[in-house]
Structure 1
Amino acid sequence: MRAMFRATLAGGLLVLGLAPPLQAAEQVVEAAGYKFVPAEVRIRPGDSVVWVNREKRVSHSVLFAATGEESPRFFPDERWSRTFEQAGRFEYRCGPHPEMTGVVIVGD
């Protein structure tokens, strides 16, 4: 019943020329093999990126080059997330492993 109501509401909004509100998305980046996979993600303002450590014995962090903001270290099977409210290009690397690099591109 609830799903039918949502579908009817969304359809009614489209008929009126209004789009239903978008929900924030979540993009997953894995730390595996001493790489961030994928190395580049594209999201919209308000979306989040979740970094998940898939290594067996190593901790990682996410260090943003421009601001110096660094996540706490996250260990195997742990995760850390950040919501990006502003458009821009956010380059990052792993704090303890600078060869691991990535970028989050936030656009409209």
Structure 2
Amino acid sequence: MRRPREAKGGAWHRLPAAALFSALCLAASPGAWAAEHEVEVVDYRFNPAELRIRPGDTVTWVNREKRTSHSVVFDATGQESERFFPDERWSHTFTEAGEHAYRCGPHPEMRGRIVVEE
């Protein structure tokens, strides 16, 4: 019994379309273009005090003080980072759009805001 003939180009003809589809799906996924951002903690302030990012981005707070520790407490959830000491850092990845106000646990007058925009 003979096998039916493949259409012109055979299976290889479909490969570029499949590869293109896979690449487009990967590029459209939330983490595909994720960026890294840094907030310095210096002189008892968050710098920048407000940061605009996209879903999937990661923010890293870096303690540039000489002697004191800080933490990040999100107002809406109460989630608090571990304390980070001079030259230490703490990171958080934001997955959903919205505004995230935060403060320093030991120094509540220190305030900041992350705005996650689609």
Give the TM-score of the pair, scaled to structure 2: 0.74
Deviation track 1:24-81 (CA, whole Å, cap 9, x = no partner) reads: 1011000000000000000000001000000000000000011000000000000000
Q: Percent identity?
A: 66
Aligned length: 92
Deviation track 1:5-37 (CA, whole Å, cap 9, x = no partner) reads: xxxxxxxx7xxxx6x824210110000000000
Tell me what 2:68 maps to.
Answer: 58
- Superposition misfits of 4+ residues, deviation over 6 angstroms: none
| Distance in 2 of aligned mates of 1:97 and 1:76 | 15
Q: CA deviation at 1:91?
A: 0.1
Max Rg structure = 2
Letter in 2 for 1:90: H
- Of 82, 98, 104, which aligns to 1:88? 98
Letter in 2 for 1:53: N
Q: Which runs of 5+ in 1 are unaligned?
A: 1-12
- Of 23, 29, 45, which aligns to 2:33? 23
| Distance in 2 of aligned mates of 1:89 and 1:79 | 22
Tell me what 1:43 maps to.
Answer: 53
Q: Which runs of 5+ in 2 are unaligned?
A: 1-19
Kindly indicate which of the two structures has a greater share of residues assigned to strand: 1
Tell me what 1:6 maps to.
Answer: none
Give the TM-score of the pair, scaled to structure 1: 0.81
Letter in 1 for 2:96: Q
